[in-house]
Amino acid sequence: MPATARRLLNELESIRLEFGPEAARRRLPLLRAVGRARCLSAADVLRLHEALCFSRAYPDNEAVLAAVERLLAGFARRPDLQQYAGELADSGVAGTAINYRFYATMAGWAAARWPERLRIDWEESDAAKVEGVLPLLATYSETPALDELGLEAAAWLAQLKGPREADGAFLVRRLGELRLGEPGLAGFAHEYLYEQLDLWMVLEAGPGGPSRTAAHWKRAPVAYRTAAPEGRRPDLQRELERAPLSVEKASPAAGRQLVDLAREAMITRSRDLDAFAWADARDVTLIDDGDGLMFVLIGMVPERRLMFEAVYGYLILRNGVPVGYGVVSSLYGSIEVAFNLFETFRGAEAGHLYARLLAGLLRMFTADTFTVYPYQLGGDGNDEGLRTGAWWFYQKLGFRSRDRAILKLMRAELARMKRRPGHRSRPAVLRQLVEGNVYLDLGEPREDIIGRLALAEVGLKVSTYLAKRFGSDRHLAGPTCAREARARLGEPARAPRGAGEKLAWERWAPVVLLLPGVERWTRAEKKALAAVIRAKGGRSESEFVARFDAHRRLRAALVRLARG
């Protein structure tokens, strides 16, 4: 039987990128047969799982899709999966456990959704650290027992937790209920305390739990394939000119579903992304590109937004199946893009998906420059990116460094490739190529863009200003500077509407007070800056980008402040 199952898998994988009526006629009986066959190794179970996930994202026709969905729906009940579930832990396959060092936000999300399954891995965690926070987890009336009884941390949590929650869920939820520090910093203080514990958790398998097997947005449009995905390098300029079918805001209900899908896509792959962890379900944008391809852009809650750039995480969906993810930052008419395809879906259409992503982003943000930072290229310790030659992927699409030494090295490598077509850049050469950002300029190159403009200098000037005025009384800085900034802009003294707007005023106020030449601005320009600040704390951060980028005087003043 193992030989039979492996033969079926080999045949399935051999036609992975073949589509059309003939390929479907071959694929369908293979799917039915492999569903009955029993794999006698964990590796083959995983191979089968990945083949099914790929076919769900790229189905030939309705019959193939139905067969794949039946097999995936019952995958956790397969005898071979149950036999090798231990070996397949952390694979994200339904019916297997997830062992992960959850960060505070994602641990809280998992504890809220699956409280009975989130437990502490005591073999990997430091019990002494947990013992140190036990008095924070119990009520004061329980302290006589804590002081006198010599129970270990695991035993105490078993005593303290409720009947329908595991010890990990209890600890995460109790720490989350503590009120630490001033309101604007309470969440950060809670995260810091939690992460000092350095806990490893186990999210046990069970019905309705997160998995790659079930990862699918049911409301996504379905398109059947009659030809292989576009594997050739795209004509990027032509793709950027071709608009997606639509760009629209998701409803709150759809936003919540998509945020959950994004978070599950991360924890089932032992990854984390701040934009998903701190996602705002009210700020989700759907870019429908047609042919079953969608990009889901997810904004962050106001209190976790960056000071300047607007950050959105995104999922790439093929027929509702997450096939990749990343993060984009936008400001100053420029967009920084990080792009990742999940391993199961690599080798099919990376260039096409990237080109269509950029085309969609141009309809969401007005920009003339894209940039990619070194980690995406294989720098800053990204050995996988270095090994796969990610830098050349972007170079062939038209991205260029602005560093003269890197450009000189690039030209030398291109000359070697011309002389010797099989030449591949040595790792030492690649490490030099990936030392700086690369840029795609759709117009005249500018310096006031992400990656070139040192906005960190603004933060340093704000720090000097606040240190001189407030020192350790920084809790006074936000309200005081907000009142002064509103007065400088001629804004009414009324309190801002909503917590997000209040927070944005307190964060931006020191910058407003330091911006050069604001007193010479027109009333309309001052009013427009106030609208920029309100948008930073508003429902959609993309509105902030549009208002900021349209405010030429603000853009110029911030550049002067950064460089002055």
User: What pLDDT, in 10s, does the model give residues 398-452?
Assistant: 999 999 999 999 999 999 999 998 888 998 999 999 999 999 999 999 999 999 9
For residue 493, name the pLDDT band (cuts at 50, 70, 90): confident
User: What pLDDT, in 10s, does the model give residues 498-507?
Assistant: 889 999 999 9
| 3-state secondary structure at position 247 | strand
Rounded to the nearest 5°, which phi and psi values hold at 246?
-160, 155
Pairing of strands 369-372, 334-341: parallel
- Burial classification of residue 464, based on how many CB atoms lie within 10 Å of its CB (0-12 exposed, 13-18 middle, 19 or more buried): exposed
What is the pLDDT, as a whole number, of residue 184? 55
What is the pLDDT, as a whole number, of residue 147? 85
What is the pLDDT, as a whole number, of residue 150? 80
Element holding 510 (H helix, E strand):
helix 498-514
What is the pLDDT, as a whole number, of residue 338? 97
Identity of the residue numbered 133 = V
Q: Is the pLDDT of residue 3 over 70?
A: no
What is the pLDDT, as a whole number, of residue 183? 54
Residue 231 structure tokens: 């594997």
Bridge partners (DSSP) of residue 203 are: 98, 118
Q: Is the pLDDT of residue 1 over 80?
A: no
Mean pLDDT, the chain, rounded, equals 93
What is the pLDDT, as a whole number, of residue 52? 97
Predicted TM-score of the model (pTM): 0.94
For residue 180, name the pLDDT band (cuts at 50, 70, 90): low
Sequence-ordered strand ranges (E) for 442-538: none
Distance CA(400)–CA(406), nearest Å, equals 9
Distance CA(30)–CA(35), nearest Å, equals 8
What is the pLDDT, as a whole number, of residue 492? 84
Query: Stretch 38-67: mean pLDDT, rounded?
Result: 95
Q: How many CB atoms lie within 10 A of CB 445?
A: 12
Query: At what angle are helices 477-488 and 498-514 packed, to 10 degrees?
Result: 70
| 3-state secondary structure at position 92 | coil
Summarize the chain as % helix, strand, coil (round to 5): 55, 15, 35
* Distances from the Cα of 307 to the Cα of 260, 270, 465, 563, angstroms: 26, 28, 17, 17
Distance CA(393)–CA(409), nearest Å, equals 16
* In contact, 433 and 410? CB cutoff 8 Å: yes
Q: Please state, for a pLDDT cut of 70, what percent of the chain lies above it.
A: 98
Degrees (nearest 5) of the Cα angle 242, 335, 338?
Answer: 95
Degrees (nearest 5) of the Cα angle 117, 120, 123?
Answer: 135
Q: Is the pLDDT of residue 250 over 90?
A: yes
Q: Is the pLDDT of residue 356 over 90?
A: yes
Distance CA(514)–CA(461), nearest Å, equals 8
Q: Is the pLDDT of residue 395 over 50?
A: yes
Q: Is the pLDDT of residue 113 over 50?
A: yes
Query: Stretch 356-372: mean pLDDT, rounded?
Result: 97
For residue 148, name the pLDDT band (cuts at 50, 70, 90): confident
Dihedral Cα 7, 10, 14, 20, nearest 10 deg:
60
Give me the sign of the Cα torsion angle 450, 535, 456, 297. negative
Q: Please state, for a pLDDT cut of 90, what percent of the chain lies above it.
A: 86
Sequence-ordered strand ranges (E) for 156-309: 201-203, 246-249, 279-290, 293-300
User: What pLDDT, in 10s, does the model give residues 192-248?
Assistant: 889 999 999 999 999 999 999 999 999 999 999 999 888 889 999 999 999 999 999
Question: Where would I find the H helices in 453-497?
Answer: 456-469, 477-488
Cβ-proximal residues to 462 (8 Å cutoff; 6+ apart), any chain: 510, 511, 514
* In contact, 87 and 166? CB cutoff 8 Å: no
Query: Stretch 1-30: mean pLDDT, rounded?
Result: 88
Distance CA(53)–CA(547), nearest Å, equals 41
